[in-house]
Amino acid sequence: MDAPEPDTALPANSPEPGAGRYAPSPSGDLHLGNLRTAVLAWLFARSTGRRFLLRMEDLDRVRPGAAERQLADLRAIGLDWDGEVIRQSARLPHYRAAVARLTAAGRTYECFCTRREIQQAATAPHAPQGAYPGTCRALTPDQRAEFLAAGRPAAIRLRAEVAEFEIADELHGRYRGAVDDVVLLRGDGVPAYNLAVVLDDAAQGIDQVVRGDDLLSSAPRQAYLATLLGFPVPRYAHVPLVLNAAGQRLAKRDGAVTLADRRALGDSAERVFALLAGSLGLAGRTPAAVLARFDPARLPRDPWTLDPNRLSPAKECP
């Protein structure tokens, strides 16, 4: 496959010293789990001399005003970033150009499966857990024409040539995970997450990806796609999540878990930051105060369980 064309949508940056990033989806306010991951991404980047960048992943659900509130919350707890905030919605031509290059190289195919059909196929005996089973990989021209005549929208999938790929993770070590024929363009023409995140990270010079460990299994797919596009694979750090009292991933329905919620109860942004830092074994009321003592090797490996109804700011955040 030919080398990728240069992506000129973003400012040209020197590959050194590289960059870390935080990339929320503006679908609502950030909760304490989101803010904790943002703090970790900032600490990883700043402690290694990297730039720290922000990107809004706004290709899917967008709630009016959410992006602005998210940025305000990040500033309030003391995080700063370099350069402008990039929005994926401004980069649509670059995603489609990458799909066109992959298609020209014979690395894609049309998929007409509905979500229900995929779920049913994935539950069949011997089907790889969570992987697309390749139903449309070898459609004949007649079968394809039949789907199109019936008005079925076609997604564009990657034609993967490996079943597994290995990545390096700061917390998990060498991790080998499944690679399947991921969607690149959805049936409605919207670029899929796995494509957009790879292109954006490469375009922004991001060589360090810090995010929740619920995304660890997706890293091999993205790293493999990066190699197909001629991009370097970033160094990953998949960090433990924040769970609610029931042991489930923290969500806004769990109570007073956003910065606005905590402020309404009398917390300051500094106290909220101190709570997040304390959950990481760090003491301090500002990012700058904990940066000098940050050591990834000493980070907790288990999830942090948080019950906002039992949270005592005066006790938890001295």
For the chain, the C-alpha Rg in angstroms (whole number) is 21
Alpha carbon distance 56, 22 (integer Å): 9
Q: Is 51 annotated as a binding residue?
A: no
Q: Is 224 annotated as a binding residue?
A: no
**Contact, 26 vs 63, CB < 8 A?**
yes
Neighbours of 71 (CB within 10 A): 18
Q: Is 144 annotated as a binding residue?
A: no
Q: Is 115 annotated as a binding residue?
A: no
Going from the C-alpha of 49 to that of each of 17, 66, 206, 208, 291, the distances in angstroms are 7, 30, 13, 11, 12
**Contact, 181 vs 157, CB < 8 A?**
yes
Rounded to a whole number, what is the distance in angstroms from the first to the last CA of the chain? 57
Alpha carbon distance 200, 30 (integer Å): 22
Catalytic residue among 69, 252, 263, 293: 252
175 SS3 class: strand
Pairing mode, strands 108-111 and 86-87:
unpaired
Token match 């360090």: residue? 208
Q: Is 160 annotated as a binding residue?
A: no
Alpha carbon distance 271, 284 (integer Å): 9
Reply yes or no on whether 315 is catalytic. no
Q: Is 193 annotated as a binding residue?
A: yes
**Contact, 78 vs 53, CB < 8 A?**
no
Q: Is 111 annotated as a binding residue?
A: yes
Q: Is 24 annotated as a binding residue?
A: yes
Q: Is 25 annotated as a binding residue?
A: yes
The crossing angle, in degrees rounded to 10, of helices 32-47 and 269-279 is: 70
Q: Which residues are annotated as a binding site for L-glutamate?
A: 21-25, 57, 193, 211
Q: Which residues are annotated as a binding site for Zn(2+)?
A: 111, 113, 132, 136
Q: Which residues are annotated as a binding site for ATP?
A: 252
Residue numbers annotated as active site: 252
Q: Which residues are annotated as a binding site?
A: 21-25, 57, 111, 113, 132, 136, 193, 211, 252
